[in-house]
Amino acid sequence: MKSFVLFLITFLFINLLSAQPQKLDTLPMVHDPVIIRQDSTYYVFCTGWGISAFSSTDMKHWRQQSPVFAKAPEWATQAIPGFKGHIWAPDVSYHNGEYYLYYAVSAFGKNTSAIGVATNKTLDTTSKDFKWIDHGKVIQSVPNRDMWNAIDPNLIVDEKGTPWLTFGSFWNGIKLVKLNSNLLSVAQPEEWYSVAGRRRDFILPDSVAGDAAIEAPFIYKKDKYYYLFVSFDYCCRGEKSTYKMMVGRSENVYGPYVDRDGVPMNLGGGSLVLEGDKDWHGVGHNAIANFNGTDYLIFHGYDAHDNGRSKLRIEKLVWFNGWPFVAKGRMGI
Protein backbone atom coordinates (compact mmCIF):
# COMPACT_ATOMS: atom_id res chain seq x y z
CA MET A 1 0.00 0.00 0.00
CA LYS A 2 2.85 2.36 0.89
CA SER A 3 4.53 1.84 -2.50
CA PHE A 4 1.24 2.49 -4.33
CA VAL A 5 0.72 5.78 -2.45
CA LEU A 6 4.29 6.86 -3.31
CA PHE A 7 3.68 5.99 -6.97
CA LEU A 8 0.44 8.02 -7.03
CA ILE A 9 2.10 11.04 -5.42
CA THR A 10 5.01 10.82 -7.92
CA PHE A 11 2.64 10.57 -10.89
CA LEU A 12 0.62 13.63 -9.82
CA PHE A 13 3.80 15.60 -9.05
CA ILE A 14 5.28 15.00 -12.48
CA ASN A 15 2.15 15.92 -14.38
CA LEU A 16 1.63 19.11 -12.39
CA LEU A 17 5.13 20.30 -13.30
CA SER A 18 5.01 19.30 -16.95
CA ALA A 19 4.20 21.64 -19.80
CA GLN A 20 1.36 21.09 -22.26
CA PRO A 21 2.09 19.01 -25.38
CA GLN A 22 3.56 20.85 -28.34
CA LYS A 23 4.15 19.77 -31.91
CA LEU A 24 7.59 18.36 -32.68
CA ASP A 25 7.41 18.79 -36.44
CA THR A 26 10.01 21.58 -36.40
CA LEU A 27 12.65 19.38 -34.78
CA PRO A 28 15.47 18.01 -36.94
CA MET A 29 16.23 14.40 -37.77
CA VAL A 30 19.08 13.36 -35.48
CA HIS A 31 20.68 10.35 -33.84
CA ASP A 32 22.53 10.36 -30.50
CA PRO A 33 22.14 14.10 -29.80
CA VAL A 34 23.92 16.25 -27.24
CA ILE A 35 23.22 19.93 -26.56
CA ILE A 36 25.08 22.98 -25.23
CA ARG A 37 24.46 26.73 -25.16
CA GLN A 38 26.86 29.54 -26.01
CA ASP A 39 25.49 33.00 -25.27
CA SER A 40 21.89 32.95 -26.59
CA THR A 41 22.33 30.12 -29.09
CA TYR A 42 21.81 26.41 -28.52
CA TYR A 43 23.91 23.90 -30.42
CA VAL A 44 23.13 20.23 -31.02
CA PHE A 45 25.75 17.75 -32.23
CA CYS A 46 24.83 14.25 -33.31
CA THR A 47 25.83 11.17 -35.28
CA GLY A 48 26.42 11.86 -38.98
CA TRP A 49 28.99 12.34 -41.71
CA GLY A 50 31.72 14.45 -40.15
CA ILE A 51 29.45 14.94 -37.07
CA SER A 52 26.16 16.68 -37.80
CA ALA A 53 25.44 20.04 -36.15
CA PHE A 54 22.39 22.27 -35.66
CA SER A 55 21.77 25.64 -34.00
CA SER A 56 18.72 27.34 -32.53
CA THR A 57 17.79 30.36 -30.46
CA ASP A 58 14.70 28.77 -28.89
CA MET A 59 15.24 24.97 -28.92
CA LYS A 60 12.24 24.71 -31.27
CA HIS A 61 13.38 25.99 -34.66
CA TRP A 62 16.69 24.61 -35.88
CA ARG A 63 19.17 25.45 -38.59
CA GLN A 64 21.60 22.88 -39.92
CA GLN A 65 25.27 23.84 -39.87
CA SER A 66 28.23 22.45 -41.74
CA PRO A 67 29.66 19.21 -40.33
CA VAL A 68 32.43 19.48 -37.75
CA PHE A 69 34.83 17.65 -40.07
CA ALA A 70 34.88 18.32 -43.81
CA LYS A 71 36.66 15.00 -44.30
CA ALA A 72 37.31 11.96 -42.17
CA PRO A 73 40.11 12.39 -39.61
CA GLU A 74 43.22 10.69 -40.99
CA TRP A 75 43.96 8.86 -37.74
CA ALA A 76 40.46 7.32 -37.81
CA THR A 77 40.79 5.98 -41.35
CA GLN A 78 44.00 4.26 -40.28
CA ALA A 79 42.58 2.88 -37.04
CA ILE A 80 39.23 1.60 -38.34
CA PRO A 81 39.32 -0.50 -41.55
CA GLY A 82 36.75 0.73 -44.04
CA PHE A 83 35.94 3.92 -42.11
CA LYS A 84 34.74 6.68 -44.47
CA GLY A 85 33.68 9.47 -42.14
CA HIS A 86 30.35 8.54 -40.53
CA ILE A 87 31.06 9.58 -36.94
CA TRP A 88 29.00 8.47 -33.95
CA ALA A 89 27.65 9.83 -30.70
CA PRO A 90 29.49 13.11 -30.01
CA ASP A 91 29.69 14.61 -26.53
CA VAL A 92 30.24 18.35 -26.03
CA SER A 93 31.23 20.36 -22.95
CA TYR A 94 33.10 23.55 -22.03
CA HIS A 95 36.30 23.42 -19.99
CA ASN A 96 39.57 25.37 -19.76
CA GLY A 97 38.19 28.13 -22.00
CA GLU A 98 37.43 25.74 -24.88
CA TYR A 99 34.72 23.44 -26.15
CA TYR A 100 35.65 19.75 -26.10
CA LEU A 101 33.91 17.44 -28.55
CA TYR A 102 34.46 13.72 -28.02
CA TYR A 103 33.31 11.36 -30.77
CA ALA A 104 33.39 7.69 -31.75
CA VAL A 105 34.47 5.89 -34.91
CA SER A 106 33.61 2.24 -35.33
CA ALA A 107 32.73 -0.71 -37.49
CA PHE A 108 29.05 -1.45 -36.87
CA GLY A 109 28.42 -4.40 -34.56
CA LYS A 110 32.12 -4.82 -33.75
CA ASN A 111 34.37 -3.41 -31.06
CA THR A 112 36.81 -2.26 -33.72
CA SER A 113 36.27 1.20 -32.28
CA ALA A 114 38.00 4.32 -31.06
CA ILE A 115 37.17 7.61 -29.36
CA GLY A 116 38.71 10.89 -30.49
CA VAL A 117 38.46 14.49 -29.33
CA ALA A 118 38.43 17.90 -31.00
CA THR A 119 38.44 21.40 -29.49
CA ASN A 120 37.21 24.83 -30.51
CA LYS A 121 37.42 28.25 -28.87
CA THR A 122 33.89 29.07 -29.99
CA LEU A 123 30.80 27.47 -31.51
CA ASP A 124 29.85 30.66 -33.35
CA THR A 125 30.59 29.87 -36.99
CA THR A 126 30.80 33.60 -37.82
CA SER A 127 33.62 34.21 -35.35
CA LYS A 128 37.20 34.58 -36.58
CA ASP A 129 38.21 32.18 -33.80
CA PHE A 130 35.93 29.39 -35.02
CA LYS A 131 38.06 26.37 -35.91
CA TRP A 132 37.82 22.74 -34.88
CA ILE A 133 41.22 21.29 -33.95
CA ASP A 134 41.35 17.51 -33.86
CA HIS A 135 43.61 15.97 -31.22
CA GLY A 136 43.20 12.40 -32.42
CA LYS A 137 42.62 9.20 -30.51
CA VAL A 138 41.95 9.09 -26.78
CA ILE A 139 41.19 5.38 -26.43
CA GLN A 140 40.68 2.34 -28.67
CA SER A 141 39.11 -1.11 -28.29
CA VAL A 142 40.38 -4.14 -30.20
CA PRO A 143 38.43 -7.36 -30.96
CA ASN A 144 39.56 -10.47 -29.04
CA ARG A 145 41.64 -8.25 -26.75
CA ASP A 146 39.01 -6.06 -25.06
CA MET A 147 35.62 -7.04 -23.67
CA TRP A 148 34.41 -3.48 -24.00
CA ASN A 149 33.59 -1.16 -26.87
CA ALA A 150 35.11 2.33 -27.26
CA ILE A 151 32.00 4.21 -28.44
CA ASP A 152 29.42 6.59 -26.91
CA PRO A 153 31.84 8.82 -24.94
CA ASN A 154 30.76 11.20 -22.19
CA LEU A 155 33.02 13.48 -20.15
CA ILE A 156 32.31 14.13 -16.47
CA VAL A 157 34.44 16.26 -14.14
CA ASP A 158 34.00 15.26 -10.50
CA GLU A 159 33.75 17.49 -7.42
CA LYS A 160 37.55 17.45 -7.07
CA GLY A 161 38.04 18.68 -10.62
CA THR A 162 39.21 15.28 -11.90
CA PRO A 163 38.06 14.46 -15.46
CA TRP A 164 36.64 11.04 -16.31
CA LEU A 165 35.46 9.54 -19.57
CA THR A 166 32.59 7.07 -19.52
CA PHE A 167 31.74 5.03 -22.60
CA GLY A 168 30.68 1.62 -23.81
CA SER A 169 28.23 -0.55 -25.69
CA PHE A 170 27.23 -4.24 -25.28
CA TRP A 171 30.06 -6.71 -24.44
CA ASN A 172 30.75 -6.31 -20.70
CA GLY A 173 29.00 -2.94 -20.49
CA ILE A 174 29.88 0.59 -19.47
CA LYS A 175 33.40 1.66 -18.47
CA LEU A 176 34.90 4.71 -16.78
CA VAL A 177 38.50 5.84 -17.12
CA LYS A 178 40.40 8.75 -15.60
CA LEU A 179 41.78 11.38 -17.99
CA ASN A 180 44.70 13.76 -17.73
CA SER A 181 43.96 17.36 -16.77
CA ASN A 182 44.27 18.42 -20.44
CA LEU A 183 41.30 16.12 -21.21
CA LEU A 184 43.11 14.71 -24.24
CA SER A 185 44.51 11.42 -22.97
CA VAL A 186 44.17 8.69 -20.36
CA ALA A 187 45.86 9.48 -17.03
CA GLN A 188 48.85 7.44 -15.88
CA PRO A 189 48.86 5.17 -14.01
CA GLU A 190 45.58 4.10 -15.60
CA GLU A 191 42.49 3.98 -13.42
CA TRP A 192 39.48 2.04 -14.76
CA TYR A 193 36.05 1.12 -13.42
CA SER A 194 33.12 -0.95 -14.66
CA VAL A 195 30.00 1.04 -13.79
CA ALA A 196 27.10 -0.77 -15.50
CA GLY A 197 26.41 -3.98 -17.38
CA ARG A 198 23.82 -6.63 -18.21
CA ARG A 199 24.11 -10.40 -18.25
CA ARG A 200 25.84 -11.66 -21.39
CA ASP A 201 25.46 -15.11 -22.94
CA PHE A 202 28.70 -16.69 -21.74
CA ILE A 203 29.03 -19.07 -24.70
CA LEU A 204 29.47 -16.23 -27.21
CA PRO A 205 32.96 -15.52 -28.56
CA ASP A 206 34.66 -12.36 -27.31
CA SER A 207 34.53 -10.75 -30.75
CA VAL A 208 30.70 -10.77 -30.83
CA ALA A 209 28.68 -7.87 -29.39
CA GLY A 210 26.29 -10.29 -27.72
CA ASP A 211 22.89 -9.79 -26.16
CA ALA A 212 23.80 -7.62 -23.15
CA ALA A 213 22.11 -4.59 -24.71
CA ILE A 214 23.33 -1.54 -22.80
CA GLU A 215 25.07 1.59 -24.14
CA ALA A 216 25.02 5.41 -24.39
CA PRO A 217 26.17 6.36 -20.86
CA PHE A 218 25.76 9.91 -19.60
CA ILE A 219 26.74 10.96 -16.05
CA TYR A 220 25.06 14.01 -14.53
CA LYS A 221 25.81 15.51 -11.09
CA LYS A 222 22.75 16.63 -9.11
CA ASP A 223 23.08 17.67 -5.47
CA LYS A 224 25.08 14.95 -3.69
CA TYR A 225 24.62 12.23 -6.32
CA TYR A 226 26.09 11.31 -9.66
CA TYR A 227 23.37 9.90 -11.93
CA LEU A 228 24.34 7.39 -14.60
CA PHE A 229 21.89 7.34 -17.51
CA VAL A 230 22.13 4.50 -20.02
CA SER A 231 20.02 3.05 -22.82
CA PHE A 232 18.81 -0.55 -22.66
CA ASP A 233 17.85 -2.75 -25.61
CA TYR A 234 18.04 -1.94 -29.33
CA CYS A 235 18.27 1.23 -31.40
CA CYS A 236 18.62 1.85 -35.13
CA ARG A 237 15.61 -0.23 -36.20
CA GLY A 238 13.09 2.53 -36.83
CA GLU A 239 9.66 1.61 -35.51
CA LYS A 240 11.04 -1.75 -34.34
CA SER A 241 13.54 -0.05 -32.03
CA THR A 242 13.17 -0.97 -28.35
CA TYR A 243 15.59 1.57 -26.85
CA LYS A 244 14.65 2.92 -23.41
CA MET A 245 16.44 5.11 -20.90
CA MET A 246 17.46 3.81 -17.47
CA VAL A 247 19.21 5.43 -14.52
CA GLY A 248 21.08 4.67 -11.31
CA ARG A 249 22.93 6.88 -8.84
CA SER A 250 26.03 6.95 -6.65
CA GLU A 251 27.71 9.36 -4.26
CA ASN A 252 31.00 8.62 -6.06
CA VAL A 253 31.63 9.17 -9.74
CA TYR A 254 33.18 5.69 -10.04
CA GLY A 255 30.17 4.01 -8.39
CA PRO A 256 28.75 1.71 -7.35
CA TYR A 257 25.59 2.95 -9.10
CA VAL A 258 22.29 1.50 -7.86
CA ASP A 259 18.70 1.92 -9.01
CA ARG A 260 15.63 2.93 -6.96
CA ASP A 261 15.31 -0.63 -5.69
CA GLY A 262 18.95 -0.77 -4.62
CA VAL A 263 20.01 -3.12 -7.44
CA PRO A 264 23.57 -2.37 -8.65
CA MET A 265 23.79 -1.35 -12.29
CA ASN A 266 26.76 -3.69 -12.62
CA LEU A 267 24.28 -6.51 -12.00
CA GLY A 268 21.75 -5.33 -14.58
CA GLY A 269 20.01 -2.75 -12.39
CA GLY A 270 18.48 0.45 -13.71
CA SER A 271 15.28 2.41 -13.08
CA LEU A 272 13.15 3.41 -16.05
CA VAL A 273 13.26 7.07 -17.08
CA LEU A 274 11.43 6.91 -20.41
CA GLU A 275 10.46 4.28 -22.97
CA GLY A 276 8.68 4.30 -26.31
CA ASP A 277 4.92 4.41 -26.87
CA LYS A 278 2.49 4.31 -29.80
CA ASP A 279 3.75 7.68 -31.07
CA TRP A 280 7.48 7.43 -30.45
CA HIS A 281 9.52 4.25 -30.61
CA GLY A 282 12.99 3.48 -29.33
CA VAL A 283 13.59 6.66 -27.33
CA GLY A 284 17.13 6.77 -26.05
CA HIS A 285 20.77 7.81 -26.16
CA ASN A 286 20.13 10.77 -23.93
CA ALA A 287 22.08 13.72 -22.60
CA ILE A 288 21.21 16.14 -19.78
CA ALA A 289 21.66 19.91 -19.81
CA ASN A 290 20.69 22.69 -17.42
CA PHE A 291 19.51 26.00 -18.86
CA ASN A 292 18.32 28.84 -16.63
CA GLY A 293 17.94 26.51 -13.66
CA THR A 294 15.90 23.87 -15.51
CA ASP A 295 17.18 20.39 -16.34
CA TYR A 296 16.42 19.06 -19.82
CA LEU A 297 16.53 15.53 -21.18
CA ILE A 298 17.81 15.45 -24.78
CA PHE A 299 17.48 12.27 -26.83
CA HIS A 300 16.27 10.79 -30.10
CA GLY A 301 13.08 8.93 -30.84
CA TYR A 302 11.60 7.24 -33.90
CA ASP A 303 8.46 9.07 -35.03
CA ALA A 304 5.67 6.54 -35.63
CA HIS A 305 3.75 9.17 -37.62
CA ASP A 306 6.63 9.96 -39.97
CA ASN A 307 7.87 6.62 -41.31
CA GLY A 308 9.91 5.92 -38.19
CA ARG A 309 12.34 8.78 -38.77
CA SER A 310 14.72 9.49 -35.91
CA LYS A 311 14.11 12.99 -34.51
CA LEU A 312 15.33 15.24 -31.75
CA ARG A 313 13.33 15.16 -28.52
CA ILE A 314 13.71 17.60 -25.64
CA GLU A 315 11.82 17.12 -22.38
CA LYS A 316 11.84 18.91 -19.07
CA LEU A 317 13.36 16.70 -16.37
CA VAL A 318 11.87 16.88 -12.88
CA TRP A 319 13.16 15.36 -9.63
CA PHE A 320 11.26 13.62 -6.86
CA ASN A 321 12.81 11.97 -3.82
CA GLY A 322 16.22 12.27 -5.49
CA TRP A 323 15.23 10.59 -8.76
CA PRO A 324 14.61 12.00 -12.27
CA PHE A 325 11.24 11.73 -14.01
CA VAL A 326 9.77 12.96 -17.29
CA ALA A 327 6.14 13.00 -18.45
CA LYS A 328 5.90 10.95 -21.63
CA GLY A 329 4.82 12.76 -24.77
CA ARG A 330 5.15 16.24 -23.29
CA MET A 331 7.47 18.86 -24.64
CA GLY A 332 9.48 20.49 -21.88
CA ILE A 333 10.06 23.96 -23.34
Given a contact cutoff of 8 angstroms between Cβ atoms, the answer to whether 272 and 10 are in contact is no
152 is in an annotated binding site: yes
Between CA 332 and CA 330 the distance in angstroms is 6
Q: Give the integer Cα–Cα distance in Å for 220 and 296.
A: 11
The length of the chain, given as a count of residues = 333
54 is in an annotated binding site: no
Q: Cα separation of 172 and 214, whole Å?
A: 9
Q: Is 306 annotated as a binding residue?
A: no
* Amino acid in the structure at residue 310: S
Known binding residue 109? Answer is yes
Residues 163-167: contacts with CB under 8 Å, at least 24 apart: 163/95, 164/219, 164/253, 164/254, 165/102, 165/115, 165/138, 165/139, 166/195, 166/217, 166/218, 166/219, 166/228, 167/104, 167/115, 167/139, 167/217
Q: Is 4 within any annotated ligand binding site? A: no
Q: Is 93 known to sit in a ligand binding site? A: no
**Shortest CA distance to 144 belongs to which of 53, 64, 68, 208?**
208
52 is in an annotated binding site: no
**Which residues, at least 6 apart from 53, have a Cβ–Cβ distance to it below 8 Å?**
43, 44, 45, 46, 64, 65, 66, 67, 68
Distance of CA 135 to the CA centre of its chain: 21
149 marked as binding residue = yes
- In the set 91, 215, 275, 295, the catalytic residue is 215
Rounded-to-integer distance, Cα 209 and Cα 288, Å: 27
Phi, psi of 17 (to 5 degrees): -85, -15
Which residue among the candidates 32, 233, 303, 315 is catalytic per the annotation? 32
215 is catalytic: yes
Residue 85: CB atoms within 10 Å: 17
Q: Give the whole-angstrom CA distance, residue 206 versus residue 225.
A: 34
Is residue 151 annotated as involved in ligand binding? yes
Q: Is 275 a catalytic residue?
A: no
Query: How far is Cα 109 from Cα 104, in angstroms, rounded to an integer?
Result: 13
Annotated binding-site residue numbers: 32, 109, 149-152, 169-171
Which active-site residues does the annotation give?
32, 215
Annotated binding site for substrate: 32, 109, 149-152, 169-171
